[in-house]
Amino acid sequence: MTDLSDNRIVKAFAELRAAGKHTVLPFLTAGYPDLAATGAMLADLEGRGVRICELGIPFSDPIADGPTIQASYTEALATKVTSERVFDMVGAYRAGGGQMALVAMVSFSIVFRHGPQTYLARAREAGFDGLIVPDLPLDEAAGIEAMAAATGLCNILLIAPTTPPQRRIEITEHCSGFVYYMSVAGITGERKVLPLEAIAAVGQLREHTDTPICVGFGISSPEMVQTVCEVADGAIVGSAIVHRITDAKDAPREDLVAKVGQFVGDLLAPVL
């Protein structure tokens, strides 16, 4: 098995665990409202203590994303945001000293179109540390898993509430970096409460894997982050952040970055 101990995601969770801490993983749509703004938000979030951030690669037909993220993808695509332009932005972030771990959320159709080996190598070269391919079934994921490991990328898979218990365990065995547990079935979106079954399920999954577990889908407040992190290593927040980007996208860039950063800072407060 490829040694991923120097991978930023693996190192981040090792350091967090050693300190007895948890984290928030923000999700940003790459290129929304523009790539320069995304780069500025990455730098700001790192300065606020974020260790790992997801970047969604815009796609015309996302699988599990709700209307807020879908709309952001549509706008980004309208301005000709491509994987290569996202890679260039990430490369510039790294060249500027950025050290936060980055995870690409990308449809397999994009990966396939470029050629999986080529796409993964380019993502790693640009500065990504892991990838999530949400529309790739476990039975077909072996090839990507091997390529990711050989390239130095963590391979992160999703587990849904509807996934049978034994299948959940199988999925964790193919995950590196962290396991993405979906708190609810269906699509992303802000929610006022999380189902108690999700918290119990993460606790049960913990008995079968030492790989960090992060919970996403529906998390939108510091209180929800705190609840999730009683059992999970991290809370993933997407729609609530993209919603705030949408609200401030026409404001001066520094105001947009500050608004998003303040919200993420508030989410981080219970676990810092």
Q: What is the pLDDT of residue 165?
A: 92
Share of the chain above pLDDT 90, in %: 84
In a domain, 84, yes or no: yes
Residues 6+ apart with CB under 8 A from 33: 75, 245, 249, 256
d(C-alpha 85, C-alpha 79), whole Å: 11
Q: What is the pLDDT of residue 187?
A: 46
**CATH number reported for the structural domain that contains residue 228 in this entry:** 3.20.20.70
Do the bridges between strand 101-105 and strand 52-56 make them parallel or antiparallel, or are there none, so unpaired? parallel
In a domain, 268, yes or no: no
Which range of residues forms the domain containing residue 94? 22-259
Q: What is the pLDDT of residue 189?
A: 47
In a domain, 9, yes or no: no
d(C-alpha 181, C-alpha 216), whole Å: 6
Query: Does the pLDDT value for residue 190 go beyond 60?
Result: no
Please count the structural domains in the chain.
Answer: 1
pLDDT, tens digit (0-9, with 9 covering 90-100), for 11-51: 999 999 999 999 999 999 999 999 999 999 999 999 999 99
pLDDT, tens digit (0-9, with 9 covering 90-100), for 242-267: 999 999 999 999 999 999 999 999 99
Q: What is the pLDDT of residue 182?
A: 92
Region for residue 168 given its phi and psi (left: phi exceeds 0; alpha: psi -120 to 50; beta: otherwise):
alpha
27 has which bridge partners? Answer: 54
pLDDT, tens digit (0-9, with 9 covering 90-100), for 116-166: 999 999 999 999 999 999 988 787 788 899 999 999 999 999 999 999 999
Share of the chain above pLDDT 70, in %: 93
Give catalytic status of residue 34 as yes or no: no
Annotated catalytic residue, options 34, 44, 65, 135? 65
Q: What is the pLDDT of residue 103?
A: 98
Annotated catalytic residue, options 54, 75, 190, 233? 54
In a domain, 201, yes or no: yes
Compute the chain's Rg from CA coordinates.
17
For the whole model, what pTM was predicted?
0.94
In a domain, 13, yes or no: no
Q: What is the pLDDT of residue 99?
A: 98
Distances (CA, A) of 151 to 35, 154, 185, 216: 25, 9, 31, 26
In a domain, 216, yes or no: yes
Work out the pLDDT band at 56, boundaries 50, 70, 90.
very high
Q: Please, what is the average pLDDT of the chain? A: 92
In a domain, 78, yes or no: yes
In a domain, 235, yes or no: yes
